[in-house]
């Protein structure tokens, strides 16, 4: 067996890199096999398998029909509507062709964008795969986003069609989607040609004649549709997925087709150790990158069954996930530390009552995994607990343990080692010097080219891609993750937190500037600062500190409660509940330097009951003292 160190070195060494990725490309079906493996002639833009042609839907669905047509492919489970349905690869193939035919009827073709604003239902997966089948570019928007956020994404992607639904459901509460979509379309300067709606019977929908169409009606017209796959260039975009940034405008992460397909295909055996015919259960949402990669595309490319789950981990009780592991003989499970912390609050008997003997390991990602949580779930499941670290921008893990290459031991608190393909470095943020000695804190960076599957660019904005990701380290053209990290003597990395103003709330990345802009829209708010504060359950929560124009409007506790409720409602309406601050603290002044820079790091430290450090540059020390007094009250 080759050592992982050798495997990793081959993947990044310029002398052996092309040969390594030629081998990985054999996991994929090509209409035209690539001869040019990595074109890095225009750094930092990497073009992987540029002369190859393929189709992502073919690799996820069609190629399995010869050997496993009747095997389970998609298992759609909703504890919200108490429904379960399993689609075989043959049935999935049929449904995807029906969806593709409907999209074609609206004029969707190669290169067109289709926005998907959907709950966790099978039709959302059909829509994603149908776009891939046609060579169209899908842009999935998380169902928790409010109208203003949705509108900004519609304007940026300019979709020809939007696919949505009447409603989602969470914790037994119906969440209407159609009114939010209508409001977003009213706000957006771009208008799609058509809106395709799945009617789940959860909420009343007002249909706009000529624009809105029901999936059920159109599906009936295309029951026998046969839509061949459109072969695309490896470098053609497969999808856009928006992620929060340090400015108010979200970034559209643009992913290619060939590099992404190869990266996911290789990750299934190398990282997860999967085999065709097994069952993968990822508890994320298709609105996030983990859902794209390891609910939809990765498991299907690998010939596995994948579970699509709508519901909470504790409803109807804290054993619901484990009942699915038993029922569907789940072999590989992928979740988030927040979910495990929620389960930890409940009796472990809920877990022990099910036969979990099929489960080989649990992978956790999306936020730092604390050691007590890892220890609890490890003892409860008696299987390996494997942390991993990555980003929307990379599409698949940067740091983890590639046990499919060489078994390695997890170290709780560490997401693991650098994955093959990633030339990870720790750099001094001021000098750009590489820190090679163990346990030295630096910015986690990746030397180009980024491996297959990572973002190509920011949709429609190459300059932003270069400026945002590649020019933050002095004197070096390297990709910055904007995370601090250290590495021990054995090559295990530990993530220490962000270097920028993005926070991680239960695995959801949120730009504090976006939340600040939303709160600042309140007519009574003069100034606001939002910081991420450590939270035992969610990892981080957003906390807002606001100065009001008229101090009399927050003169007492009742007035402050009313104002806080108004601010919360405003954020809900513009960004969605996922961005709602945990608390709004009203202060008379925000702590700033004498040059007028907000001291967000000091605010965060005080909120976390830590020493704020050197405050000699602060203009008014009483501002921070007031914050501390209010938080202690």
- List pLDDT tens digits, range 142-193: 887 889 889 999 999 999 999 999 999 999 999 999 999 999 999 999 999 9
**Confidence at residue 15, expressed as pLDDT on a 0 to 100 scale:** 98
- % of the chain at pLDDT higher than 70: 96
Question: 72 or 519, which is more confident?
Answer: 72
**Confidence at residue 44, expressed as pLDDT on a 0 to 100 scale:** 98
Q: Please name the residue that has the structure tokens 């940034």.
A: 245
Q: Are 534 and 607 in contact (CB under 8 A)?
A: no
- % of the chain at pLDDT higher than 90: 73
3-state SS string over 13-75?
CCCCHHHHHHHHHHHCCCCECCCCCEEEEECCEEEECCCCEECHHHHHCHHHHHHHCCCEEEE
User: φ, ψ for residue 51 (rounded to 5)?
Assistant: -95, 5
Domains of the chain: 4-311+388-442 (3.40.50.12780), 502-632 (3.30.300.30)
Q: Is the pLDDT of residue 407 over 80?
A: yes
**Confidence at residue 501, expressed as pLDDT on a 0 to 100 scale:** 67
**Confidence at residue 549, expressed as pLDDT on a 0 to 100 scale:** 80
Q: Which of 22-31, 118-127, 253-262, 622-631 has the lowest mean pLDDT?
A: 622-631
**Confidence at residue 437, expressed as pLDDT on a 0 to 100 scale:** 94
Q: Is the pLDDT of residue 248 over 60?
A: no
**Confidence at residue 614, expressed as pLDDT on a 0 to 100 scale:** 56
- List pLDDT tens digits, range 250-268: 799 999 999 999 999 999 9
**C-alpha span between 419 and 72 (Å, rounded):** 30
Chain CA centroid to CA 198, Å:
24
**Confidence at residue 78, expressed as pLDDT on a 0 to 100 scale:** 98
Q: Alpha-carbon Rg of the chain, whole angstroms? A: 24
- List pLDDT tens digits, range 487-508: 999 999 998 777 766 777 777 7
**Confidence at residue 435, expressed as pLDDT on a 0 to 100 scale:** 95
**Confidence at residue 577, expressed as pLDDT on a 0 to 100 scale:** 84
Residue 506 CB coordination number (10 Å): 19
**Confidence at residue 600, expressed as pLDDT on a 0 to 100 scale:** 77
Q: Which of 276-280, 426-430, 458-462, 545-549 has the lowest mean pLDDT?
A: 545-549
Structure token pair of residue 363: 């992978």
Per-residue DSSP letter, 12: H
Band of residue 465 on the pLDDT scale cut at 50, 70, 90: very high
**Confidence at residue 245, expressed as pLDDT on a 0 to 100 scale:** 55
Q: Is the pLDDT of residue 52 over 80?
A: yes
- List pLDDT tens digits, range 190-204: 999 999 999 999 999
Question: 624 or 109, which is more confident?
Answer: 109
**Confidence at residue 537, expressed as pLDDT on a 0 to 100 scale:** 84
Q: Please name the residue that has the structure tokens 């994404």.
A: 153
Of 59, 8, 57, 451, the residue nearest 276 (C-alpha): 59
3-class secondary structure, 334 = strand
Question: 287 or 366, which is more confident?
Answer: 287
Using CA atoms, how far residue 398 sits from 183, 267, 446, 459, in Å, is 38, 11, 9, 22
Most confident of 128-137, 375-384, 549-558: 128-137
Q: Is the pLDDT of residue 208 over 90?
A: yes
Beta pairing partners, 169: 174
**C-alpha span between 500 and 247 (Å, rounded):** 11
Task: Give the ranges where 353-415 is alpha helix by DSSP (H).
Answer: 371-381
**Confidence at residue 534, expressed as pLDDT on a 0 to 100 scale:** 86
**Confidence at residue 609, expressed as pLDDT on a 0 to 100 scale:** 86
Mean pLDDT calculated for residue range 236-255: 84
Structure token pair of residue 421: 């393909």
Mean pLDDT calculated for residue range 430-453: 95
Question: 394 or 483, which is more confident?
Answer: 394
**Confidence at residue 500, expressed as pLDDT on a 0 to 100 scale:** 67
pTM: 0.85
């Amino acid at each position: 067996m080759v050592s992982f160190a050798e495997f990793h070195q081959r993947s990044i060494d310029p002398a052996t890199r092309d040969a390594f990725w030629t081998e990985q490309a054999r996991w994929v079906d090509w209409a035209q096999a690539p001869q040019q493996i990595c074109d890095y002639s225009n750094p930092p833009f990497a073009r992987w398998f540029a002369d190859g042609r393929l189709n992502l839907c073919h690799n996820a669905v069609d190629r399995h029909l010869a050997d496993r047509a009747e095997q389970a492919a998609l298992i759609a489970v909703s504890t919200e509507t108490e429904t379960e349905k399993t689609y075989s690869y043959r049935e999935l193939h049929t449904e995807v062709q029906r969806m593709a035919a409907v999209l074609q009827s609206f004029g969707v073709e190669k290169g067109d964008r289709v926005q998907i604003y959907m709950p966790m239902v099978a039709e959302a997966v059909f829509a994603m795969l149908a776009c891939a089948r046609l060579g169209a570019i899908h842009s999935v928007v998380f169902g928790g986003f409010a109208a203003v956020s949705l509108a900004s994404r519609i304007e940026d992607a300019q979709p020809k069609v939007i696919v949505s639904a009447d409603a989602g459901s969470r914790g037994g509460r119906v969440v209407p989607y159609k009114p939010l979509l209508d409001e977003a379309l009213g706000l957006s300067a771009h208008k799609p040609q058509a809106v395709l709606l799945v009617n789940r019977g959860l909420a009343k929908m007002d249909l706009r004649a000529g624009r809105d169409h029901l999936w059920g009606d159109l599906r009936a017209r295309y029951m026998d549709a046969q839509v061949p796959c459109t072969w695309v260039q490896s470098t053609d975009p497969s999808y856009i997925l928006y992620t929060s940034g340090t400015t108010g405008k979200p970034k559209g992460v643009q992913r290619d087709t060939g590099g992404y397909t190869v990266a996911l295909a290789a990750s299934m055996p190398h990282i997860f150790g999967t085999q065709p015919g097994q069952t993968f259960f990822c508890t994320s949402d298709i609105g996030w990158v983990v859902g794209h990669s390891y609910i939809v595309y990765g498991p299907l490319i690998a010939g596995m069954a994948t579970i699509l789950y709508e519901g909470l981990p504790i409803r109807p009780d804290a054993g619901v996930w484990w009942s699915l592991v038993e029922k569907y003989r789940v072999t590989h499970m992928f979740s988030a530390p927040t979910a495990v912390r929620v389960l930890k609050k409940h009796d472990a008997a809920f877990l022990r009552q099910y036969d979990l003997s099929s489960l080989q390991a649990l992978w956790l990602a999306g936020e730092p995994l604390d050691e007590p949580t890892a220890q609890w779930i490890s003892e409860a499941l008696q299987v390996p607990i494997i942390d991993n670290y990555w980003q929307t921008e990379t599409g698949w893990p940067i740091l983890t343990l590639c046990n499919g290459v060489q078994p390695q031991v997890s170290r709780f608190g560490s997401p693991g080692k650098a994955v093959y393909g990633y030339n990870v470095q720790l750099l001094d943020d001021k000098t750009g010097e590489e820190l090679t000695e163990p346990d030295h804190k630096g910015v986690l960076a990746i030397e180009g080219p980024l491996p297959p599957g990572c973002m190509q660019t920011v949709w429609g904005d190459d300059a932003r891609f270069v400026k945002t990701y590649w020019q933050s380290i002095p004197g070096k053209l390297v990709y910055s993750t904007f995370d601090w990290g250290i590495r021990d003597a054995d090559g295990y990395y530990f993530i220490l937190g962000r270097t920028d103003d993005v926070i991680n709330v239960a695995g959801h990345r949120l730009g504090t500037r976006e939340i600040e802009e939303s709160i600042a829209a309140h007519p009574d708010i003069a100034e606001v600062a939002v910081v991420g504060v450590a939270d035992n359950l969610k990892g981080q929560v957003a906390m807002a500190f606001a100065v009001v124009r008229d101090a009399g409007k927050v003169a007492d506790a009742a007035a402050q409660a009313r104002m806080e409720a108004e601010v919360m409602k405003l954020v809900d309406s513009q960004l969605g509940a996922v961005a709602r601050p945990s608390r709004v603290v009203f202060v008379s002044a925000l702590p700033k330097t004498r040059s007028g820079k907000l001291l967000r790091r000091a605010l965060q430290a005080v909120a976390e009951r830590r020493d704020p450090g050197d405050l000699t540059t602060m203009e008014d020390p009483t501002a921070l003292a007031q914050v501390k007094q209010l938080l202690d009250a």
